[in-house]
A and B are shown apart, each in its own frame.
Chain A
C-alpha cells in the first residue's frame, strides 16, 4: 500500500515538472511593465535625498548655508533623474521640481519612498502606504 503511494508520488512529481515543457507553458522572463526601472529607482533616491536633506536641516544637523548649497545640488540631481525617466524637455523641468516640492507639502509625494502620485491619490502607487491628507494652506 505504502509502495503504491510512493510510486504515485513519484509519478505526480514527474508529471508536475514535465507538463510546462510538454505543453509549452512559460513563466514570465522579463520585467513587468509596472515594475520600477533603474532610472525610476534613481529618481526615487534623488527625491528621498531631497527629503532627507530637508529633515536634516530642520533637525539642526546641517547649516543654513550648507543646506542651500546641498539643496541646489540635490535638486539638480533630481531633475536629471526625472529627465532620464520621462524624457521631458528642459522647459518642463522647473515646473516638475516645483511639483515635487509641492507634492511633498500637500501629501501627494509619498513620505516613505518619495514617489509623486497623481492628484487625489490616497495611497502611494510605488510603495502602497497611505498618503497624508493635504495640509490646508497657511497652517504649515
Chain B
C-alpha cells in the first residue's frame, strides 16, 4: 500500500499539470475534448491523493518506523484512532491532507457543474489544478515528502505530542482545513470570471453556498481550537493571540466581510472590485494560514519547525497569486464598474459597508501584530513581539462596533431609511439595551467595556427578536397566512437572511461570553487529603472544594499512559454537595529517545454550568516530583489552581446556535423540477440558479 501510495503521489503531479494546462488551453481555444480530459484529471488526482493518504495511514497503522514521518509522529503504543489522525498530526501529513480535501472539493465542484456554468468551468479547473500542482510540488520537492525513507529502522517512533492526543485536537485541524480548502472554489470561480469577462453576479450566485460552507467550517474550526486550548493547555484560557490562532482568524475575518458584501453586489450591483479583492485576499490568507502553521516560520504552540525551503516556496506562490489577481482585476476594471450607488448614508448598504471596513481593519490589526516579530527581526535585527494586551486593546473596540452594527444593519431598510422610521424602530432595542446597562450598573458592575458589551448584546438580541416578530407579522399580512405558517415560511423562503440572523444570535452569545472574562477568579492552594479550599463566584455564591485524595494509574498501555494521577475533589456550593471535579496529571509514553518529561500533560477538571465554569488544575504533586514513588500512599499532597470562569459556556452554546443558523443557510432546496417549460401560456422556465 505504501509503494502504491508513494507512486500515486508522484503520478498526481503530472496529472495535475496536465489538468491545469488543458483546462486553460481548452477554455481559450474552445476545445471541448481538452476540457473533458482536464475534468478527468480532477477526478484522477482525487483518486491518486486518496491512495497517497491511505498509504500514509498504512505506514502509521503498520508501525513503519523505517519511514521518517511515522517515526517522528507515532509510536507502537499509540491507539489506532490517533494513528489514523497521524495523517494530519505533523507538517508532512497535513500538507497531503490539505491536498486531499482540496481534491474532494474540486471534484464536487466539477461534478456538480458538469451541465451548468460551463463557460466558467475550463478556467475553474485550470485554477484548481494550478493550486494542486503547487501543493504537489511542495510535497515532493520541499523535503516534506511523507514517504521519505530513513534508510534504517528505528525501534520505536518518537510518539505523538501528548497535547495532540485529545478529541478536540483530532477534529480541530481537519475542520479548519475544510474551511480553508472550501474557499478555494469561490476563488477559482472569481479568477475564471475575470478571465472569461463574465463579471455580473453569476460567479457569486454559483459559489454562495461554498462561501457559506467555508465560513461555517472556519467558525467551527476556530472554536474547536479554543475548546482544545481551554481543556488541554491547562492555563485557563481559550485564546492567546498566538500566531497560528491569528492565522486562522484572518481568513475568517475577511470571509465574514465577503459574506456580507456579496449581498450588496447581488442586490445592487455594487462593490465588484471590492468583492474581487476580498475573495482573492481571503484565499491568500487561507494559504498564509497554512504557511504559518506548517512552515515553522513563527514560533508558537503549533509549530513543529522543520525546514525553511517550504517557507520560500509558499511565499513565492502567494506573491504570484496576488500578482495574477491584481493584474486581472486591473485588466477588467472597466467591466467591474458599479451599476448603482449608495443612495443614502442611512441604508443597509452603508451599514454593510461599515461592517466590511471594520472587519478589514481588524484583519490588518491582527496581521500587523502577528507579523511584527518577523518583520522587526528582518528589518531591524531585533525581534519586537506584541502580546495579548496589544490585540485586546485594538480588537475590543472593533468587536464592540461590529456588535453594534449587527443590531443596526437588519433594522435599516435597503436603499434609504428615514430618520423618523429609524427612531421608531430603535425605541425598543435601545430601551432594552440601556435598561440592561442600568440594571447591571445598579447591581454594581463597573467594568466599562464589559458593561458596554452586555448592553449592546441586549440591544442586538432585541433587534433580532423584533425583526423575527415583525417579519412574521408582515408575511402573515402580505400572504394572508397564519402566524405559525408565516413564521416558518419567513425563514424557509429566505433562508440566507433569517439563517443569518440566527448566526448573529450565536455571535452575540460568544461576545457575551468574552465580556465575562474580567470576572475570572482564581486561587492557588496546596492541600492534603481532607482539606478544603473556598472560592467565591462573581455571582455571589461560594464553592467549597474538598480534596479527597489522589489515585494513581500506572502503565496503562491502552491509553498510552506511563502514569496518571487523578485528584478527586468534591464540590459544595453554599454548603450543598453538587458534584466532583477530577483534575489530572499525566505522563504519556513518548517513545524513542525523547525526554520523558515532555510527555507531561495536564487534564483540567471542569464543572460546567450554563453561567460559569469551575475550572481546576492539578498544578503539581510535590512529593512525587521530588522522587517519591507513585505507589507510596503518603505522596498525597497536591498543589491546585482553582478558577471560576463566568459565562464561558456561552461560547460553546453560541457556536452551536451559529451552526444551526449556518445550516439553515446551507440547506439545499428540496426539489428542482424543470417540467414547467411547456405549460400553456407559461414563460420559458429558468433552470436552477446555483442554489
Verify B681–A112 contact, CB threshold 8 A: no
Instruction: Enumerate A6-60 residues with CB–CB distance to B below 8 Å.
Output: 6, 9-10, 13, 16-18, 20-21, 24-32, 34-36, 38, 40-42, 44-45, 48-49, 52-56, 58-60
| Chain A residue at smallest Cβ distance from B18 | A17
Verify B479–A140 contact, CB threshold 8 A: yes
Contact of A29 among B37, B122, B425 (CB under 8 A): B122
Does B393 have its Cβ within 8 Å of any Cβ on chain A?
Answer: no
Instruction: Tell me the bound Cα distance from A115 to B494 in angstroms.
Output: 13
Instruction: Tell me the bound Cα distance from A98 to B198 in angstroms.
Output: 32
Instruction: Tell me the bound Cα distance from A57 to B198 in angstroms.
Output: 35
Contact of B679 among A27, A107, A118 (CB under 8 A): A118
Verify A126–B689 contact, CB threshold 8 A: yes
| Chain B residue at smallest Cβ distance from A5 | B4
Contact of B674 among A61, A125, A130 (CB under 8 A): A125
Verify A32–B116 contact, CB threshold 8 A: yes
Most chain B CB within 10 A, of A24, A25, A35, is at: A35
Residues of A within 8 A of B202 (CB): 38, 41
Does A116 have its Cβ within 8 Å of any Cβ on chain B?
Answer: yes
Instruction: Tell me the bound Cα distance from A52 to B266 in angstroms.
Output: 13
Instruction: Tell me the bound Cα distance from A31 to B120 in angstroms.
Output: 9
Number of A residues contacting the other chain (C-beta, 8 Å)?
Answer: 71
Verify A35–B117 contact, CB threshold 8 A: yes
What 1/0 flags go to B406-449 for Cβ under 8 Å of A?
A: 00000111111110110011000000000000000000000000
Does A84 have its Cβ within 8 Å of any Cβ on chain B?
Answer: no
Q: How far is the CB of B15 from chain A (nearest CB, A)?
A: 6
Verify B37–A125 contact, CB threshold 8 A: no
Instruction: Tell me the bound Cα distance from A71 to B72 in angstroms.
Output: 68
Does A62 have its Cβ within 8 Å of any Cβ on chain B?
Answer: yes
Verify B30–A29 contact, CB threshold 8 A: yes
| Chain A residue at smallest Cβ distance from B485 | A132
| Chain B residue at smallest Cβ distance from A7 | B7
**Given A35-B117, A58-B474: A118 and B683 within 8 A (CB)?**
yes
Does B686 have its Cβ within 8 Å of any Cβ on chain A?
Answer: yes
Instruction: Tell me the bound Cα distance from A59 to B44 in angstroms.
Output: 53
Residues of B within 8 A of A125 (CB): 673-674, 676-677, 685-687
**Given A58-B474, A111-B489: A21 and B30 within 8 A (CB)?**
no
Does A70 have its Cβ within 8 Å of any Cβ on chain B?
Answer: yes
Does B3 have its Cβ within 8 Å of any Cβ on chain A?
Answer: yes
Does B32 have its Cβ within 8 Å of any Cβ on chain A?
Answer: yes
Contact of B118 among A9, A30, A44 (CB under 8 A): A30
Contact of B686 among A36, A58, A66, A70 (CB under 8 A): A36
**Given A5-B4, A21-B34, A61-B425: A41 and B201 within 8 A (CB)?**
yes
Verify B686–A60 contact, CB threshold 8 A: no
Q: How far is the CB of B488 from chain A (nearest CB, A)?
A: 11
Instruction: Tell me the bound Cα distance from A35 to B671 in angstroms.
Output: 17
Does B562 have its Cβ within 8 Å of any Cβ on chain A?
Answer: no
| A/B interface sample: 15 pairs, CB < 8 A | A9-B7, A13-B47, A16-B40, A17-B40, A28-B118, A36-B686, A45-B266, A49-B267, A52-B414, A66-B418, A112-B494, A117-B682, A125-B674, A135-B480, A139-B480
With contacts A5-B4, A128-B671 known, what are 13 further pairs, Cβ within 8 A? A6-B3, A13-B47, A17-B18, A17-B40, A17-B44, A21-B34, A26-B31, A41-B202, A55-B475, A59-B471, A62-B417, A126-B685, A140-B477
Q: Which residues of A contact B (CB under 8 A)?
A: 2-3, 5-6, 9-10, 13, 16-18, 20-21, 24-32, 34-36, 38, 40-42, 44-45, 48-49, 52-56, 58-63, 66, 70, 86, 104-105, 107, 110-113, 115-121, 123, 125-130, 132, 135, 139-140
Q: Which residues of B contact A (CB under 8 A)?
A: 1, 3-4, 7-8, 11, 15, 18, 26, 30-37, 39-41, 44, 47-48, 51, 114-119, 121-122, 198, 200-202, 205, 266-267, 269, 411-418, 420-421, 424-425, 467, 470-471, 473-475, 477-481, 489, 492-495, 669-674, 676-677, 679-683, 685-689, 691
Q: Which 8 A-B pairs have the closest CB atoms?
A: A26-B32, A118-B682, A34-B687, A58-B474, A140-B480, A111-B493, A128-B672, A118-B679
